Structures are given as structure tokens and as C-alpha cells.
Amino acid sequence: MFDSRMAQKAAENLEKLKEKKPLVHNITNFVVMNYTANALLACGASPVMAHAQEEVEEMVSFAGALVLNIGTLTPYWIDSMLKAGKRANEAKIPIILDPVGSGATKLRTDSAKRLTDEIAISVVRGNASEVLSLAHEGSRTKGVDSIHSVDDAADAAVILAKELNTTLAITGAVDLITDGKIIYRVSNGHKLMGYVTGTGCTATVIIGAFLAVDSNPAEATTTALAYFGLAGEKAATHVDAPGSFQISLLDALYSIDKKQMEEGAKIQIQ
């Protein structure tokens, strides 16, 4: 039922992460900075948050991956993201974009599109409306309003991934990942994750960490989401309310070992 090679790769990526401890440079939102830094530490990576235009190019050059998140954007922060992103592109450092709220306001949609236009992004992670809002006018990608089923979303994502030449991850009860060729589905996770702010943003930084140790963006993303979802499942075995859950989730990220990862991953390839 679940893909055993991908389960094994999830375990291997987790082990590599704990060995290499890559620096992950985040230009992200104010709400989640503390929690995502703690999540990165818990999974073995080393976080740095830096957004000043005077230093982002220098800072990103030390990093194994760059995380861009527009959750509390202003134009200054978008310009910092572009500066860091261009340098990351030159240095072949992978970039993941979390287009928080793209589709909801013009500033967010325009900024997310500007980022995908002006820099090469390895992975975009968001919910269906955020991810599919990145389609250009006249694109073959159907708008979010016309998505009536999970299969519609998958079709739209495959087309958009090809257009943007990137890997897309639409997370939800079942996560859908595609690079325009292969579709991966991850069914790890727990509903309490929806009651903790920034779990989406946290999924994004964990993908960032996995990108630093796996040169295949779609597989890095899929295995990272299986790991994060499995941590949610483990956390929920101890607790049943969101305050305790957010703490147990960090504990689970820290304590999941290679064997648990390989046995627990629920990844399907279409």
C-alpha cells in the first residue's frame, strides 16, 4: 500500500539531517519565528533568522537552504527575499517558498508571483488556494474556485508545477506533492495540527532542512512531510489539546528515530 523505497528514504534523510546539521536561513513571518526555529533545532538543523538587506546575501551564502515565508510581509521584506534568493540561486542553494495568504490580498498574490518570477524556487508549499494562486493570467491552470475535488487539485498542480518549473506541495489531510511528472501523496498527520498556529510554516522549514540533504526536491519534500506528519501522530498519542500538542510535537520531532520513520511513513506514488 505505502511505498517502501520512499519510507526508507525518509529514514535516510532524517539520519543525514542529524549528521550534517545544515544551517537553514529563514526570512519569515513574526508569528512563527520562535516555533520554526525550535522545530529546526529539534530535527537536527541549525536555524538563522536574518532579513536586513545589508546582510541577507552574506548570510545565505553559509546556508544549506533558504526559507522564504510571506506571512507578515511588507515590501521591504520581499526585497530582502529577492536579494537573498538571487544569491542563493547563484550558489545553487535550494529555496522553498511559503506563499502564506497568496490569493487573499493583492499584495500577497503579487509578491508571491514576483518571487516565483524573479528567482528559481525549488519547492512551493501551501494550501490549495495559496499554491494555485501562483498561476499566471491565461495559464492553463484552473483557478481555485473551479477546483471541486482532490483530483482537480492534483491535475491543476501538475500543470502549474510544469509551468513554474518547480515542485509544489499542497498540504492538507492528505498532502499532495508533484514536480509536474510524479505525484506523491502523504497521509501522515493529525487533526490537532490545525489548532496550532504555524504548523504549515513549520512543515515548510522542515522541507527546507530536507532540501539541504537531498538533491531531489520532490523526494526531499515528500519525505519531510511524512516525517512532520508522523511527529504529529506521535505527539497526539500523549495529549488531546493544542497547547500540550504544540510542545509534544517538538518533542516528537526530536525523538523519532530511523526505524520509527521507516515504519511510520505513509507515502504513495501515483
Contacting residues toward a second copy, per CB under 8 A: 29-35, 37-38, 41-42, 47-52, 54-55, 58-59, 62, 71-75, 101, 104-108, 194-198, 241-244, 246-252, 254-255
Cβ-contact 44, 261 below 8 angstroms: no
Task: Look at the chain and count its residues.
Answer: 270
Residue among 195 and 269 whose Cβ is closer to a second copy:
195
Nearer CB in complex with a second copy: 154/247: 247
Q: Rounded to the nearest whole angstrom, what is the least distance from the CB of residue 55 to a second copy in the complex?
A: 4
Burial class (CB in 10 A: 0-12, 13-18, 19+), 259: exposed
Measured from the CB atom, is 98 or 219 closer to a second copy?
98
User: What is the residue whose three cell numbers read 545553487?
Assistant: 92
Of 178 and 248, nearer to a second copy (C-beta) is: 248
**Burial (Cβ within 10 Å: 0-12, 13-18, ≥19) of residue 138:** exposed
Of the pair 255, 270, the CB lying nearest a second copy is at 255
Q: Provide, rounded to whole angstroms, the least separation between the CB of residue 33 and a second copy.
A: 5
Residue 229 C-beta: closest distance to a second copy, Å: 17
Structure-block grid coordinates of residue 248: 509534544
Interatomic CA distance for residues 239 and 148, integer angstroms: 34
The least CB distance from residue 157 to a second copy, in Å, is 25
- Give least dist CB 101 to a second copy, A: 7
Q: Output the nine-digit C-alpha cell for 12.
A: 535516510
* Helix, coil or strand: residue 167: strand
Give the nearest distance from C-beta 89 to a second copy in angstroms. Answer: 19
Q: Shortest Cβ distance from residue 186 to a second copy (Å)? A: 22
Q: Which is nearer to a second copy, 2 or 254 (CB)?
A: 254
Determine which helix (DSSP H) or strand (DSSP E) holds 177, and give its type and residue range: strand 175-178
Beta bridge partners of 170: 126, 176
- Measure the CA–CA gap between 243 and 8, rounded to whole angstroms: 32
Buried b / exposed e along 238-251 (16+ C-beta atoms within 10 A): eeeeeeebbebbbe
